[in-house]
Structure 1
């Protein structure tokens, strides 16, 4: 049984999802889907906190930290990250960080919107 049932619109929409996932692979060949998901969430929710992201995505703290670090300038263990997001100290709670796209992240978002928008 074919999930698309000869529905060209469903096939076209799914092909777009497939191409979007491949676009993230062009950024990092081994990028986990969870990291791409976190990038998308930050793009949609700039200025939000890690706690808000974890709650929305139902993601454990360690997983969210690992993905945010991969997307920032410096990955875990001091390795270079993808530099797609920036962390800014929350002026209302210095323990919390607010997340924004970096210039490189904004460029990637624009590229994705042009390609898939």
Structure 2
């Protein structure tokens, strides 16, 4: 017979789950309906800023059109023409292929990353979400 999951949740596992929830909380405060794929795209831009839309699409494993949608949602204006989250900016190349846009975090995006870092490194995490 299997034990209920609650009985095998160690204090370390509970803290890990709480840290992850706290780390994602700043993004969910901005948009309670944010999709995990959009969160993954944001984190990829944070890790490897300056990649093109095509490179990001390849790294995350989606079509370029989907990557563009996710980036629009993270940018200043979402794909529906409504205000976006303002976490990333796309910069057009000056030389070479001007159709290429490189993606970087904005100041607000950097602030969210700072909040995530604090949540992940707290010695005694508190429930915040």
The question of a shared fold, defined as TM-score above 0.5 by the shorter chain, is answered with yes
Structure number with higher relative contact order (C-alpha < 8 Å, ≥ 6 residues apart) = 2
Partner of 1:101: 105
Distance in 1 between the 2:50 and 2:112 partners? 18
Gaps of 5+ in 1: none
**The structure with more strand, counted as a fraction of residues:** 1
Q: Assess, with a 3 A threshold, how the Cα gap between structure 1 residues 110 and 93 changes in structure 2: closer, same or farther.
A: same
Partner of 1:12: 15
Tell me, what secondary structure is at the counterpart of 1:48? coil
Does the Cα contact within 8 Å between 2:50 and 2:104 map onto a contact in 1?
yes
Larger Rg: 2
TM-score (norm 1): 0.86
For residues 14-38 of structure 1, the C-alpha deviation after alignment (integer angstroms, 9 at most, x for no partner) is 2222222333211111111111111
Does the Cα contact within 8 Å between 1:50 and 1:98 map onto a contact in 2?
yes
**Aligned-residue CA RMSD in angstroms?**
1.9
Does the Cα contact within 8 Å between 1:49 and 1:97 map onto a contact in 2?
yes
Gaps of 5+ in 2: 122-129
Tell me, what secondary structure is at the counterpart of 2:111? helix
Does the Cα contact within 8 Å between 2:20 and 2:120 map onto a contact in 1?
no
Aligned mate of 1:52, from 45, 50, 55: 55
| TM superposition outliers: structure 1 runs of 4+ over 6 Å | none
Figure out how many residues of one structure are paired with residues of the other and give that number.
117
